[in-house]
Chain A
Amino acid sequence: MDAVTNVTGRAVPMDRSNVDTDQIIPAKYLKRIERTGYGPFAFEAWRKDPDFVLNNASYDGAVIMLAKHNFGSGSSREHAVWAIEGLGVRALIAPSFADIFRNNCFQGGILTVELPEEDVDELMRRATDDPTTEIEIDLETQTVRAAEWERTFEIDPFRKYRLQRGLDDISMTIEYDADVAAFEAQRSPLFPSTGV
């Protein structure tokens, strides 16, 4: 995973609450066995509406998506993150995210920033009024900026540490091999085994 320190650029406003992962990537594309190439299918049904925000060329090249409550609800499909990544989006800002979706974003190095609803609304207003509005997210200082406007956000320190260094979760955990083995040694033998 690439290190994430700063995401700066234009932001596309996704002005709907409870956007579910079936909208972000429909189930029929989950038959693919690759990790990439999902961008063209992102929000497929909504993109049929010419007025849908992703059809507005002013937002081409946006690296941030502004969203509403409970973004990414529903299915655990990580394909939703791969689809958003395929759109060129590197960070999401919303009042809240669905838990599994947020975990999946973290795994893929997509930054999720939670801000109070009125702050997200303010950013949506700015990005809607002027699609060239630049937003900066700085992970080190945990700050979101749009011109003179500035807010700080919370992030779990472990996740921040990992994102800033672009560390791979699995290699990190493998370093705990001895701890895992010690845990297994004292684990109850009554837990079931799947052996046929």
Chain B
Amino acid sequence: MTGPKTLAEKIWEAHVVDSPLADAARREALGDEAAGGVPTDLLYIDLHLVHEVTSPQAFEGLRLAGNSVRRPDLTLATIDHNVPTIGRDLPNPDPLSAQQIDVMRRNAEEFGIPLYDVFDMRQGIVHVIGPEQGLTQPGMTIVCGDSHTSTHGAFGALAFGIGTSEVEHVLATQTMRQVRPRTMSVEVTGELGPGVMAKDVILAIINEIGVDGGVGHVIEYRGEVIRNLSLEGRMTVCNMSIEGGARAGLVAPDETTFAYMQGRRHVPQGEDWDRALEYWRSLPTDQGATFDKEVVLDGANIPPFVTWGTNPGQSVTVNDAIPHPDSFDEPTKREAAARALEYQALEAGTPIRDIPIDRVFLGSCTNGRIEDLRSAASVIQGKRVADGVNAMVVPGSGLVKMQAEQEGLDQVFLDAGFEWRDAGCSMCLGMNPDILAPGERCASTSNRNFEGRQGPGGRTHLVSPAMAAAAAIAGHFVDVREVI
């Protein structure tokens, strides 16, 4: 393909090892129709991140087939989903989790894969530690058996979540077969108001395009608002691409990206840095390149968002009320809204501000980075968590935790009555002991408000870290713009 290209197309094409369209023998085997079909390309993978939950069956598959890991030097494992966030020196209270963690250790050892184990300072959520270590770089292909792998797109990398069979395929071959994605541009123009965060931007985008608006597409986030976001903010936006149905999300690398990367452990140094910069600067979408789908949002019109339902597209602004199911035109949306309100025990017409909360969860691969903790800490400084509310902070990695402690943020949280935990996925998906009790309502900085996501019967409202912090103090949702 010649002519102007998008960022996603450039990265994809630079990683094609084999394409049925380029291979005459294969084309013949498939019949002529393949020539006009969508190519299922064999793509080379630059970085494969592995964790304890979606890998055991993949390693077992390798053993059964007598395969080895082709490139352990392009593979990194950590333990994040199951790990308790307190009492790590004690025996794991859950024997199944303990077994899965132990299996991850044995597999890493057997196949020679570097592992950031539970007591390693670098341990943390897989999508926090890749960027932190400088392993996530522009122009790379990155995969992980986790749907939030799209996070790494913030650096201008093409990053996909994959299932366990594909994990095994990448371990064995360092490649994967994928259908070439369509491209989508989401442009956020203008400037965000004070107190409005990257989380509000992505919730606004999902509200606009719907939870399946990005299916089959790779989204490139563009526009002034995206350019002015920090890398942490861009990671928050890219992280939730999957919540809009997209296969991946990315942002073109720029000076903000390079400044974030410089000096990190696995980033090229010296002359190599200059050579890498030259490549990275060639990546942004060319003038005149076209996307299969384009959406534009005005950043100035984005207020803080709160989800009310059981998918991330069911959201309103903090000063709105719970919508009535009848207000939706499409029958499927009406039914979904009615079901969601029943599950969430909410009445249509209730102002969002009047919803009381029981729990606050600050953390996850969406909002567990240092900037998120700083923003929440600035809201709660000198205040106390409301009576009856349990609030916890789970930093995204051991290094985020350490940095927060060096900045004194842990004390701000502890003084306000928050719990200060060790790094992991924690209450984002409720695989470790951190779960909601049935009926409990949580203001959460995580990415999914599905039924039972944070514990069976638990009720989740997705918000930004600043909004979660403000809700912890008030005991109900408030417009954070009024308290900062």
Binding site for B on A (CB under 8 A): 16-18, 20, 22-23, 26-28, 30-35, 45, 68-70, 73-79, 81, 96-100, 103-104, 107-108, 156-159, 161, 169-171, 173-174, 176, 179-180, 183-184, 187-188, 190-196
Contacts and interface: CB of A to CB of B under 8 A. Distances in A.
B96 A32 contact: yes
Contacts of A35: 57, 60
Interface in B16-67: 17-18, 20, 29-31, 33-34, 37-40, 42, 44, 46-47, 53-54, 56-57, 60-61, 65, 67
A27 B431 contact: yes
A143 B75 CA distance: 42
Contact of A31 (B96, B272, B456): B96
A186 to B, nearest CB: 11
A81 B73 contact: no
A97 B215 CA distance: 8
Interface stretch (B172-180, B220-228, B285-293, B411-419): B172-180
A190 B82 contact: no
A18 B311 contact: yes
A158 B103 contact: no
B96 A76 contact: no
Contacts of B450: 20, 22-23, 74
Given A76-B54, A173-B175, A188-B279, A26 B162 contact: no
Contact of A69 (B162, B212, B456): B212
B162 A100 contact: yes
A76 B57 contact: no
B189 interface: no
16 contacts: A30-B53, A30-B54, A31-B94, A31-B96, A70-B211, A73-B212, A77-B53, A99-B245, A104-B163, A174-B172, A179-B17, A183-B44, A190-B275, A193-B266, A194-B73, A194-B266
Contacts of A176: 17-18, 42, 173, 175
A176 B81 CA distance: 34
Contact of A170 (B146, B168, B247): B168
B161 interface: yes
Contacts of A100: 147, 161-163, 242, 247
B431 A33 contact: no
Given A70-B211, A173-B177, A33 B42 contact: no
* Most B C-beta atoms less than 10 A away, residue of A35, A99, A184: A99
Contacts of B464: none
B428 to A, nearest CB: 10
Contacts of B332: 17, 68-69
B147 A192 contact: no
B229 interface: no
B443 interface: no
B146 A76 contact: yes
Interface residues of B, number: 91
A161 B34 CA distance: 10
A69 B330 CA distance: 12
Contact of B82 (A18, A31, A107): A31
Given A33-B57, A179-B17, A180-B175, A76 B161 contact: yes
A155 B475 CA distance: 51
Contacts of A33: 56-57, 60, 99-100, 103
A26 B65 CA distance: 29
A22 B173 contact: no
* Most B C-beta atoms less than 10 A away, residue of A23, A68, A69, A78: A78
B309 to A, nearest CB: 10
Interface in B141-199: 145-147, 161-166, 168-169, 172-175, 177-179
Contacts of A158: 20, 30, 34, 37, 39-40, 177
A175 B164 CA distance: 21
Given A45-B456, A98-B245, A100-B162, 7 more contacts: A73-B211, A75-B147, A81-B163, A96-B215, A103-B162, A173-B169, A194-B73
B40 A31 contact: no
B140 interface: yes
Nearest to B55: A33
A63 B70 CA distance: 37
B41 to A, nearest CB: 9
